[in-house]
């Protein structure tokens, strides 16, 4: 299949699904489409709750597209690329509706950021997580605030420093990233169905106010994540990072 971001509405649930043939990694164009889709559903009256998911039954999201990372030649292009992840996280933060995130498989780098930005995130037993950025010379700067907000500084440090090791779904649940972990996608989808249908019956004004209260203290994230994108955009130009990405791409 070709890469896509598609939006549908089912019984007042706005469903945003993305796909990329490289383990659901996200190039800049798809990040822009995800941002636009979240913002659009935030303004759609018939949508009461938003569900963010990826296609397939394997990886949830492999993070940044290596093909696009290796093509970055200057700071401005690098800043613009990493601003894509910042924009998606900020769109979730600002949406006046709860964003439920469905994680069916492994999440890496920016994928962990998407899971952490969700207001309520549900995974399967296969949904291990890894912040791999340091291993390629970047560091999880853009997703860091979202991950720290959800699991705390200590757990974030463990993930970001031990950048080559996955932590299991149960570890992620214990740290607060996942609200629940299910043995199968069928069980996970049943839990999501029950939750979303409960939420569509709830007061939109009460949910909006509750979401706003839950995100208190993040009002500076437009500026904060933009500054973090600048850092990553500069680091991605280093010879260390370019060599590391080429090694990953070649499987060596």
The predicted structure's pLDDT at residue 252: 55
The continuous run of DSSP H or E covering 19 comes out as strand 13-19
- Beta pairing, strands 13-19 & 4-10: antiparallel
Q: Which residues of the chain have pLDDT under 70?
A: 250-252
The predicted structure's pLDDT at residue 102: 98
The predicted structure's pLDDT at residue 145: 98
Model pTM? 0.95
pLDDT digits (tens, 9 = 90+) for 144-188: 999 999 999 999 999 999 999 999 999 999 999 999 999 999 999
Domains and CATH numbers, the chain: 4-185 (3.90.226.10)
For 112-139, b where at least 16 C-beta lie within 10 A, e where not — what string? bbbbbbbbbbbbbebbbbbbbbebbbbb
Would you tell me the crossing angle of helices 153-161 and 144-151 to the nearest 10 degrees?
130
The predicted structure's pLDDT at residue 4: 98
**Chain length of the chain:** 252
Q: Extract the runs of DSSP E, i.e. beta strands, from 68-183.
A: 99-103, 107-108, 120-124, 129-130, 180-182
């Amino acid at each position: 299949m070709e890469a896509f971001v598609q939006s549908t509405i089912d019984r007042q649930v706005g469903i945003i699904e993305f796909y990329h043939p490289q383990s659901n990694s996200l190039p800049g164009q798809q990040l822009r489409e995800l941002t636009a889709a979240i913002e659009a559903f935030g303004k759609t009256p018939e949508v009461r709750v938003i569900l963010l998911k990826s296609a397939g039954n394997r990886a949830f999201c492999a993070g940044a597209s290596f093909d696009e990372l290796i093509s970055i030649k200057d700071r401005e292009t690098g800043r613009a690329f990493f601003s894509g992840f910042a924009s998606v996280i900020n769109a979730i933060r600002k949406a006046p509706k709860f964003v439920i995130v469905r994680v069916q498989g492994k999440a890496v780098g920016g994928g962990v950021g998407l899971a952490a930005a969700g207001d309520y995130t549900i995974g399967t037993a296969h949904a291990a997580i890894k912040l791999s950025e340091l291993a390629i010379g970047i560091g999880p700067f853009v997703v860091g605030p979202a991950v720290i907000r959800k699991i705390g500084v200590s757990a974030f440090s463990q993930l970001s420093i031990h950048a080559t090791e996955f932590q299991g779904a149960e570890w992620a649940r214990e740290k607060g990233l996942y609200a629940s972990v299910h043995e199968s996608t069928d069980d996970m989808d049943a839990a999501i169905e029950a939750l979303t249908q409960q939420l569509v019956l709830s007061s939109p004004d009460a949910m909006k106010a509750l979401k706003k209260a839950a995100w208190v203290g993040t009002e500076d994230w437009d500026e904060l994540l933009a500054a973090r994108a600048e850092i990553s955009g500069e680091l991605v130009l280093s010879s260390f990072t370019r060599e590391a990405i080429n090694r990953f791409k070649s499987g060596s």
